[in-house]
Amino acid sequence: MTQKLTSERFLQMVAKSGIVDAKASDRLVGKVRKKFDGGLPSSPRKLAALFVREELLTEWHVEKLLAGKYKGFFLGKYKLLGHIGTGGMSSVYLAEHTKMGDKRAIKVLPKSRVNDATYLARFMLEAKAIASLNHPNIVLAYDIDNEDDVHYIVMEYVDGLDLQQLVKRDGAVDPSTAADLIAQGARGLAHAHNKGVIHRDVKPANLLIDVDGVVRLLDMGLALVTATDDESLTVANNENVLGTADYLAPEQALNSHEVDHRADIYGLGCTMYFLLTGKPPFSDGTLAQRIAKHQTEMPTAIRQLRPDCPGELEGICVKMIQKDPRYRYQSAADVAEVLEKFTSKVPKGTKVTAGLGDMPEFDTDESSSISLDDDDSSSRYGDTISNKNDDTLANNRSALVRKKGLSTSDSGRLVDVKPRPDLVGGSFLDLQSESGYRPNSQVGEKQAKPDKVRPVSKSGASDVGIADSQHGSTSKSVSSISGRSSGGRSRGIDPMLAVALLIACILVSLFIGFLAGGVFG
């Protein structure tokens, strides 16, 4: 039988967790007991709300503590503050250095990947290569470490908004601003390419704009690193997700392991199309049909959807998304240069605001709030872990992700993690299952049944997985790219096939008529 959580029990769990400095906790509890004549609030949630207000705990901490979790809030030198999001290959947490107080983003590798020694070797190889990147338009990686079987990368934390969320919030971006954002992304890619790193998953959700308007390239989880034969482990690890369907270069669908830097230019071009029109180049149809369109069709003209877009900018975008890599810009530096020339001539529209304000208070019901304010208001924040009035989990990205009614990013794969019954048992915080990596788990949503495709490769059949950015799902490639599903559901007949059948019937009728005329004539 589960023990009912009281305020006293909550305080015991806070102490056991080690999250809050003991002296700071004692000072706050002393104020509370003074307010309640030596007692505590009857509801532990009211008490928890005070810890959040005084910036001693985050709402994520409270959620886990109230669920009975008080272990596992630390990774090495870092205290976890909250869950930022889950991607195709890892989960990212906001953390704080226990000594210096610096904020960092920590990418945790799922245990299912760690058990594959070859994959882990490749993870280390690529992480080291990514750590060598140092550019204003790339999120920096600081450290690679592990605690038992939990492997993680410590990265720069950037409080901002990714371009996927920006368009969801504000709609299509004005042409000059779009050009500036893509130019900055191109500069970051140019640096990575010069270091032998190909991103392979360039999309709006992987371009983050901070509060100063600087674009940062992030999530190098699918990066292809130039290495010697002995070092190259990419082909040996045929990943389940090798790109996102709506931004996938044609050649990448054929062979994800032999692409060059021009595949990133294609993805960046599709991202610019998204910024200008508010939708990916091919937003309709099944996953198989959209991949096929990327290989054979050009999208609807930008100026047809957006008449105010200058023809020069549309031409730049069209060149970036050419099907044949030979006809694209041949380097990301070339892309940056031509876009920077454009932005120098065309004034920008309304300035992009990355800040959305703090997350809502944990407890907004005035009837359940407790005021501990006294005449000395300056002491309100004296008990905090850090006296900096910056973000703990009150960062803009998390605030947007947590808002109700906002779907998980079409390509970003961020999730609003809700309390799960299977996490209540035990006292240890399981980062793997909490992020959705527990084997055979369903994380708070029904997965769309993927369409099955098998890109045709010169080297033969290739078993590659593609992320479906429309449904946030991943499909295993097992059938040909033809725009038709091999599932059991009935689909309408292809118009081209109908026309072909009609023509065949007419020709057969004419031939029969000709034979009949010859016999009876």
Q: State the DSSP code for 153.
A: E
The tokens for 136 are 């204003």
CB 109 within 8 A of CB 151: yes
- In the three-class reduction of DSSP (H, G, I as helix; E, B as strand; rest coil), residue 120 is classed as helix
Choose, from 159, 201, 410, 451, the residue flagged as catalytic: 201
CB 215 within 8 A of CB 364: no
CB 233 within 8 A of CB 121: yes
CB 16 within 8 A of CB 70: yes
Following DSSP, what letter does each residue of 322-340 receive, concatenated?
A: -SSGGGS-S-HHHHHHHHH
CB 250 within 8 A of CB 295: yes
H helix or E strand, kind and range, residue 210: strand 207-210
As a whole number of Å, the CA-based R_g of the chain is 27
- C-alpha 217/C-alpha 356 separation (Å) is 21
The pair phi, psi for residue 99, each rounded to 5°, is -100, -45
AA letter at 151: H
- C-alpha 178/C-alpha 114 separation (Å) is 39
Cα angle 470-409-277, degrees, rounded to a multiple of 5: 70
Following DSSP, what letter does each residue of 400-458 receive, concatenated?
A: HHHSTTPPPPTTT----PPP-GGGSSSSB--HHHHTT-STT---SSPPPPPP--B---T
The pair phi, psi for residue 342, each rounded to 5°, is -65, -45
- In the three-class reduction of DSSP (H, G, I as helix; E, B as strand; rest coil), residue 17 is classed as helix
Q: Is 468 a catalytic residue?
A: no
The tokens for 404 are 């109700």
**What is the separation of C-alpha 464 from the centre of its chain, rounded to a whole number of angstroms?**
20
- In the three-class reduction of DSSP (H, G, I as helix; E, B as strand; rest coil), residue 383 is classed as coil
Catalytic residues: 201
